A and B are shown apart, each in its own frame.
Chain A
Amino acid sequence: MSVEIIKAEHLTKYYGNFLAVNDISFSVNKGEIFGFLGPNGAGKTTTIRMLTGILNPSSGRIEVFGMDMKKHKIEIRERTGIVPEMANPYIDLSAMRNLRLMGRLYGMKGREIEKRSVELLKLFNLYEKKDTKVRGFSKGMKQRLSLAMAMLPDPELLFLDEPTSGLDVMSARLIKRIIREEQKKGKTIFMNTHNMQDANELCNRVAIINHGKLIAIDTPEKIKEIGAKSNVIEFSLSPFKFEGGIVEGRVEILGDKVKVYTAEVDETIKKIVNYAERENLKIVSLNVEKPSLEDVFMALVGEKNE
């Protein structure tokens, strides 16, 4: 029996006349990594701000830990860690002082704060810099500190708004590894992202949101099945030359590679081979793949979004 940690019912948010989030409902279970996926401006941050009680929804209801957000905001937050989208630690304070501030805001005891801070600074590879002002930190270091600040009170629930966006591979990996470890400890994680790969690797379930509307919600595998009828045939010809008209289905040309989305694998490959023979081109590579989460995502949200 799964326990619902977050329950959102008919959440709607207007900014003035602008409808940013349009009647979305979903729930997140205990121990889950739940990915909230969508293009820029889809309403991800707005949703997370409502779920964390920073913004009041225009209508709809939010329950976290079985408590109504309207009535129990502070109690809910005591058990929640939050990394806002542009979460900057205080640049005039050291890493350690930033952590201490968070600890105090969560009502932790001094000794507990010190112990946990050192633990987290080590975990996030920031221990050497603990007394350095954050002003001199790189983006990745700031983001790691930010996550450490959210994790300081050892919350049961973490809200992360694009935790790996704009980070180098090392920092992103470290953060992803820590997110997984938190899950293993039984924590629930709600994360916004537009990185398909992260969503695919990390999330137990993802919701796809576009123009404020929820358009799919399921496990990454199930979501991929939405597009399973179609396959992706990716190939490259040398010297590069290709006329879209010769195959059926959606065609994308990426550099010297061509991607064809089609249900007819056999027929399409034969056409490509014929074309290559006819035009005297060498087939450099040819792969048939199931659609990735990104492919399905693109198919779902359309390509009007940049």
Chain B
Amino acid sequence: MSKLSQFSRSLAIVKKDMLVFYLKGPVVLMGLLFPFFLFGAFLIGRDLSHAYLFVALLAMTVFFTSTAVGPAIIPWEARSKTFERLISSPVSITTVLFGDMQASFYFGLIITSFISLTAIFLGISLNLLIFIPVVILALLTFSAMTILMSSYPPTDIPADVMMLTSLVKFTLLFISGIFVPLEKLPEYARVISYFSPLTYLVDALRYSVSLHGYFPLSLDLILLSVFALGFFFSGVAVHKKVLEKRFT
């Protein structure tokens, strides 16, 4: 089967995901409302530069919107017994998951595009040549992360996955230099932050608003790509491995 036709079939899955999942309650809550509450809480009582604020807002938006849809898709499909039909059609599991990943990506892309307009109101001069590739790469990375998130445990209870992923998401949020810049973190905390892909998004975004980064931009981009590929392919591998457990 040609790669091209599998790709075009993955678009059918994207469309299905958009119609079925984009407007589900938890998605809207976790993807849209939550980052802004969090951002509000972060703002209170601080006197921060606009550029700094913009980086925090965008990093949170990219991170939360691209991880809002993905984690629950497969568990939801397993629960509502649509999963078996999907994987018994002439598409590979990789194609199904690639479709789901794209659905996360587009959700993130649409909302992040709107939020990016705040740059205008904040009077920020944005280097689009850095900003656009960084945002797209990071959206892909976090969309891919949701594939891994939904793979284990092979539950069919979406709420369980949502809870687990929220836990992971918040942990990442606090170790990624959004609230406290990397250079101000104690050594051990900084080492922990190296393991979070969000760290490299925050760092890369700083370059787009003429702030200094902690790592070279090229390293940020390389690591985000490595995370993206790692997340997707390990996610696919785990999904394949636990597939049987979804049919009980």
Contacts and interface: CB of A to CB of B under 8 A. Distances in A.
Interface string B49-88: 0000000000000000000000000000000111011111
Interface in A105-126: 105-107
Interface in A63-78: 73-75, 77-78
Contact of A93 (B1, B5, B20, B243): B20
Interface size class of A (residues with CB under 8 A): 20 to 34
B212 interface: no
A102 B89 contact: yes
A95 interface: no
B16 interface: yes
A89 to B, nearest CB: 7
Interface string A74-102: 11011000101111111111000100011
Interface residues of B, number: 26
A53 B86 CA distance: 13
Interface in B204-248: 243-244, 247
A289 to B, nearest CB: 40
A40 to B, nearest CB: 15
A74, A77, A97 pick with most chain B CB within 10 angstroms: A74
B84 A105 contact: no
Nearest to A52: B88
A86 B12 contact: no
Contacts of A106: 89-90
B87 A54 contact: yes
Contact of A86 (B20, B84, B86, B243): B84
B19 interface: yes
B91 interface: yes
B85 A84 contact: yes
Contacts of B1: 74-75, 78
Contacts, number: 78
A82 B12 contact: no
Given A84-B85, A89-B82, A77 B9 contact: no
B90 A87 contact: no
A105 B91 contact: yes
Nearest to A92: B20
B8 interface: yes
Nearest to A91: B80
A146 B88 CA distance: 13
Given A93-B20, A97-B19, A105 B89 contact: yes
Interface in A283-306: none
B12 A101 contact: yes
Nearest to B77: A90
Nearest to B12: A104
Contacts of A102: 89
B81 A107 contact: no
Given A74-B1, A101-B12, A90 B90 contact: no
B80 A77 contact: no
B81 A86 contact: yes
A11 to B, nearest CB: 15
B8 A101 contact: no
A90 B11 CA distance: 17
Listed from nearest, the 6 A-B pairs whose CB atoms lie closest are A104-B12, A77-B90, A105-B89, A74-B1, A88-B81, A84-B84
Interface of A: 15, 49, 52-55, 73-75, 77-78, 82, 84-93, 97, 101-102, 104-107, 146, 149
Interface of B: 1, 5, 8-9, 11-13, 15-16, 19-20, 80-82, 84-92, 243-244, 247
Given A82-B88, A90-B80, 18 more contacts: A54-B84, A54-B88, A55-B244, A73-B92, A74-B1, A74-B92, A75-B90, A77-B89, A77-B90, A78-B90, A82-B85, A84-B85, A84-B88, A90-B20, A102-B89, A105-B91, A107-B9, A107-B90
